[in-house]
């Protein structure tokens, strides 16, 4: 059974289509990732699924509740961790959880048990009575993850959950997300522009660009579709006909002076690639990543995109103009 189903879900801002007729199903218990650059439509999608934004067209079902007609049902059955920090710095970790429990009407008899369990899961028991302003960035994100779980949601929406964290803090958050998903048996939807995050965490990944999902599959299958290893070469030119005549060469692309040649068994076949190049300046080798998948389907690299810029301003203006009931 699907935990989330979108039906031609669309959000426009004037001429800009932030999300363009999105049709998607996320299975119960799945960790699903929306991978793409800033501005691809990931946060807009999450914002519609949690009913903060009203779609321009289409709709979605979250736990069987329509995001337009049954907003209370949607909100009561989801947990969400926003891209921007939202914990109250002046409250302690435990006080933040207690306030959240009050907002979600968690029965008083269950609150202490729920709070203690959440603090245990995210390993903040020893800091529960400290003000959040004394927490590190990673500790804040763990608290917000725990807060999103407090009312036992069936779906957890995570918008760039490790944004701004160092590599060690990011790996710790990955561990907590995986543990939460398995222990609580909930569906998790993650938006990210970190390739390794999508690769490590997600059962399936939808690569998103310009408001559309351009390809969707397991991380392993996505990389398998590209195939081989990537030889990245800066050279004066190539003999493309000669390169393509070799069975080992899967694909050739060019971007800003670099040639990207996907090769089967690069250890054995690198000489074939080199012979087809003229005046090589630099050469790099790497195994296929989700960035290579993104480049295959969009013609550019994932990491080169600019920041979203005015997204938050657009979202708040939209909410002011079209408040949800």
More reliable by pLDDT, 31 or 312: 31
Which strand ranges, in their side-by-side order, compose the sheet holding 187-192? 78-81, 155-159, 187-192, 31-35, 204-209, 212-217
More reliable by pLDDT, 151 or 206: 206
pLDDT at 96 over 80: yes
Which domains, ranges and CATH numbers included, belong to the chain?
A: 2-222+306-321 (3.40.50.300), 228-287 (3.30.70)
245 pLDDT tier (thresholds 50, 70, 90): confident
Pick from 237-251, 281-295, 303-317: least confident: 303-317
Say how far apart CA 231 and CA 137 lie, in whole Å.
37
Average of pLDDT values for 8-37?
A: 94
Residue 125 backbone phi and psi in degrees, to 5: -55, -45
Say how far apart CA 117 and CA 236 lie, in whole Å.
61
pLDDT at 319 over 80: no
Average of pLDDT values for 89-107?
A: 91
Question: What is the structure's pLDDT at 273?
Answer: 81
Question: What is the structure's pLDDT at 83?
Answer: 85
Question: What is the structure's pLDDT at 56?
Answer: 97
pTM: 0.78
Determine the angle formed by the axes of helices 311-321 and 42-49, rounding to 10 degrees.
30
208 pLDDT tier (thresholds 50, 70, 90): very high
Token output for 13: 């801002």
303 pLDDT tier (thresholds 50, 70, 90): low
Residue 235 backbone phi and psi in degrees, to 5: -145, 165
DSSP string, 215-274: EEE-HHHHHHHH-SEEEEEEEEEE-HHHHHTSTTEEEEEEETTEEEEEESSHHHHHHHHH
Which of the given ranges, 210-219, 279-288, 309-318, has the highest pLDDT on average?
210-219
**Torsion sign, CA atoms 5, 180, 91, 159:** negative
pLDDT at 140 over 50: yes
Residue whose C-alpha is closest to residue 191's, from 201, 178, 180, 176: 201
171-174: long-range pairs with CB below 8 Å, 24+: 172/138, 172/142, 173/138, 173/141, 173/142, 173/145, 174/200, 174/201
Question: What is the structure's pLDDT at 10?
Answer: 97
**Torsion sign, CA atoms 144, 145, 151, 157:** positive
pLDDT at 204 over 90: yes
Residue with tokens 């080798």: 285
């Amino acid at each position: 059974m699907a935990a989330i189903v979108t039906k031609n879900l669309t959000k426009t801002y004037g001429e800009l289509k932030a999300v363009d007729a999105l049709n998607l199903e996320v299975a119960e218990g799945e960790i699903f990732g929306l991978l793409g650059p800033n501005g691809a439509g990931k946060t807009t999608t999450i914002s519609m699924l949690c009913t903060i934004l009203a779609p321009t067209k289409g709709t979605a079902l979250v736990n069987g509740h329509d995001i337009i007609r049954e907003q209370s049902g949607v909100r009561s059955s989801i947990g969400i961790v926003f891209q921007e920090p939202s914990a109250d710095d002046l409250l302690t970790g435990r006080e933040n959880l207690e306030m959240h429990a009050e907002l979600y009407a968690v029965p008083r008899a269950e609150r202490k048990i729920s709070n203690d369990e959440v603090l245990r899961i995210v390993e903040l028991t020893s800091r529960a009575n400290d003000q959040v302003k004394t927490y590190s960035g990673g500790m804040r994100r763990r608290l917000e993850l725990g807060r999103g779980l407090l009312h036992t949601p069936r779906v957890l929406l995570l918008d760039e959950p490790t944004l701004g964290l160092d590599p060690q803090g990011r790996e710790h958050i990955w561990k907590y997300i995986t543990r939460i998903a398995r222990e609580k048996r909930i569906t998790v939807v993650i938006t990210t522009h970190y390739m390794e995050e999508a690769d490590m965490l997600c059962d399936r990944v939808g690569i998103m660009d310009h408001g559309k999902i351009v390809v969707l599959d397991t991380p392993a299958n996505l990389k398998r579709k590209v195939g081989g290893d990537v030889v990245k070469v800066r050279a004066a030119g190539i003999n493309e006909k000669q390169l393509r005549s070799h069975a080992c060469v899967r694909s050739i692309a060019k971007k800003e002076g670099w040639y990207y040649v996907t090769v089967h068994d690069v250890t054995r076949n690198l000489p074939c690639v080199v012979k087809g190049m003229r005046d090589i300046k630099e050469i790099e080798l790497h195994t296929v990543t989700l960035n290579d998948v993104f480049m295959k389907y969009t013609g550019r690299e994932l990491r080169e995109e600019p920041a979203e810029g005015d997204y938050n301003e657009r979202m708040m203006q939209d909410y002011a103009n079209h408040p949800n009931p």
